[in-house]
Each structure stands twice: as C-alpha cells, then as structure tokens.
Structure 1
Amino acid sequence: MPMPQPAIGLLKKNDDDHQLERILRRLGYRVFAYTRCHLMFSSLAGHGANLALIDRPLGEKEISLIKKYRSRETKNAATILCCGTGQSPRTPPGCNQLVDPLDIPALHRALQRHMTQYDRKKLRASIRLPALVCDRGEHLLGEVNVLGTGGAQLQSSARPLRTGQNLEVVIPLLGQKKELEIPCQVVYAQEPVAENNFHYQAGIQFLTHDDELVRDLEHYLSCHLLTAPDDNGYHYRPAAAPHIT
C-alpha cells in the first residue's frame, strides 16, 4: 500500500493569502489551511498532520492557546514551525523558526528535518514541461509532470519504457533559454490506465549529480514554485530565483 501524502496544517493571514499554500501543495503535501488559530490546532490530529506552519504574527491569546496545546498533546503534538516574512511573528516557547519560507530549498530542508518519516531528501515538485526521450537512436516526445533534483516522472503516449533501461532525456527549462541533457535510468514504469489518461508513465533517476545540475534545477524549481502557471499549466516566464545557499 502506498504511503499517504504527508499532511501540514497552515495558519495564514487571510483567505486571499494563497502563495505558501500553493507552494506546499506543489511540493506534494496535503495542506489544511486556516485563518483562525484555534480551528487549526483543534483539527491537526483529525487530519493526521504532524507539522503546523504559522505564517502570520500571533497575538497573546494565540500564543497562550499554543502553549496549552503543547502541554496537552505531549505525545502526539505536531511540530510547530513559525515563518518569518518581513516582520517576524513572535515565536511561542518550544517552537521552531523558519526565517524565509519563500527560499524554496531552505523550506524543503526545514520540512524534511521535521517530517523525518517521509523520505524526500531531494527537492521535487509537480510541473508541466515538454521532454525529448533519446533511446538508442530513437527520439520520443514526452512530458515531465514531476521534476526534482535527482529525477523526474515522465509520461508519453508513444511506447512504454522498461524498468532498468538507460536513456537520455532532454528537458528545456522554459523561460530561461536553457535545456538540460541528462543521462537517466528508468526505476519504475506504469502501463496506460484511466488514472493517468491512458499514457505510459515512468519514473527516472538522473545518473549525474554534479553541483551545476543541482543548482540549475533548484533555481528553476524555485522560480516555478513562486510563479503561477499560464492557462495550459506551463511556466514560460519564471521570476528571478531567490538567494540559494
């Protein structure tokens, strides 16, 4: 049975504040967003969320409520991570501080530190990009629907790929006038079914892990996560990437 998507509770400023919520969803998390502190903390256990992100300043009553939650839920309490954007919110005792939630690689590392039961060491996100699959002289058109710093998920209507097969994939980084040619190995393959719109799907692992490739992918994924897609879901005009450490 596949592992369920990890769940996060998010306390945001208002109902129109969607950016961090959208980023977390694209990173593959189930997000339960609230604007009222007491509603979020009363719902965490029911959603199976073991991480709570606070992305707005807290009042004295809310800090008191969080203290009560932590003292009451001593065994199953969610880890609480306070995000600082501009003026940092007050951090309740025993909670952790995330300086900039929009530094995507730093956000990913912070989430991994506090959600250790989910093995997502490499940054990855849902995306839509065209791809060219090069296999023993043949060139097949495909699409990337998940891209990470260590691999990707491809789909194609042409023909199946085989588990263990070595190939090369060309992925254009749309909006950056750059493309990546990456040697890969197929780690799993799926037959066409209704759930994947009757496309062949395959998970590929990149066989090269040089620092420049990782930087290029982190830069592009950061841009992708900080911008909204066009009507077709493609990202032609990524914004400037944040500082990556």
Structure 2
Amino acid sequence: MNVLIVHAHPDPNSLTASLKDVAVSALRDQGHEVVVSDLYAMEWQAAAGFTDFDGITGPDFMHASGEAYRSGRLSPDVRAEQRKVLDADLVVLHFPLWWFTVPAILKGWIDRVFTYDFAYGAGTPRYGAGPFAGRRALVATTVGGRAGHYTARGVNGPLDDLLFPLHHGVLHFTGFDVLPPFAEHSAVHLDERRYAGIVERYRRRLATVFSDAPIPYRPESGGDYTGLTHPDGSELVPGRELPGTTGFALHVEGRDPRRD
C-alpha cells in the first residue's frame, strides 16, 4: 500500500516528529511505500491565494482554483501534493493540537491542496462518497493537556468534538474512510519509560491501520438525510439517532449519547 504522511511541527526533536519517524519505520517494515510531506522542512506556503492559479482570477476564488486545477495551471508545489494524495491508499496527518486545532501550516496545506474540482465541486458526491472514496485517513496528534480535560465533562470538551471539523468536515466530506485518531495526551514532558510506551502503542496501532474499522459517519447518500433538494437542505431524518443524542454525535451511526 502507498502511504502519505503530512507532518506539521517546526521542531525536528519534538515528540510529534519522533512519532512521525516511528510511523515511517513501522509502515515500511510492513512493506508499505511511505512518502512524507514535512511541511516546515519544505517551507510550505500556508496562505492560499490567486498566485497559485497562474493568472486565473475569477469568477471567484473557489472557481478560479477549479479552473487552475482543470487546466493544469496550479502552482507546481500544489500539483505535487495533489499527486501524492491521489497516489495514497492512506493519508496520515501528523500534528500537535495547537489552540484546539491544527497548526496553521497544515490548515494551509488543506486550503491550497484541496481545491475545487479536485477535492469537491458542484455535483460531486460528498460525505462518504467524495473524490477520495476508497482511501483511508488517520489523524495522529499530540496533546499537551491531560486526557481528563478532553472528555464530555472535561473543561476542554471531548477530543472527538475538537477533531470533528477535520474528521467529518474535511476528510469524510471528501470521501475518506476516517479512522479513529491516535492521540497522546500530557505530551509536554515525558520520561524514557513513558515515551517507550507511546512508541509501542503507536506501532501496534499502525499494524492494523488497513484493517481497523473507520468511524461510522453517516453517508449523505445513505438515506439518513433529507437530501440536497429538501427546502431545509440535507438534514438528518428525525428518529435515525439514538434517544438523547445531540450535537456532532448525531452524524455517527448508533452513537451512544452516554459516552464519556
């Protein structure tokens, strides 16, 4: 299998960088081909702009990106990353959780690479049936706070909710089968014993990355939603959720609202 790792951390000696190296080694040991996009080492430009489109400026930014993609006029760095995505059976996003989201450089990779007509578009299936259907995606993140801070009753809120915009709004939207994340909490200060445990857990997780069940997000075209032609848009049909389910959990099949 072909794996693309998109790595976003400025410190090559960080835990995030170390775990990226663990992933490369473990996946290659399994016989997979691994390509790494180290965004800081590449000096990746984070800000999306018309400069990516070789003079195409309209009719608006979104459609200009699509025209540049269709006509082969996207900037070379964006085209190269798009080729990596298309070649990948698995995309791993490696990053530290900064201010409850991805680092700006990784958001910029998504903004620039997932252009109109490449990752989404008018009439293009979405939410489980997008252009990247058949590929898998894994978020591997390090978190400074304790695990208890990231539960339903924790002060920071559930980690699943913080990752929902990335998991559901970017990856599931464009068709990926999104795997449950690999997340390590209290990642600021580690001793050798705890670090060894993290490495072992990550290696075990990567050993099953192509057989693990993805998060069971509801496909938009699976009958659970009213459909885009409905006056109120594509909404979850009442009664499809477990009693008491609210919020992001509505969009996960059979999600137990009593989860921590």
Q: TM-score range by the shorter chain?
A: 0.3 to 0.5
TM-score (norm 2): 0.32
TM-score (norm 1): 0.34
More helix per residue: 2
More strand per residue: 1
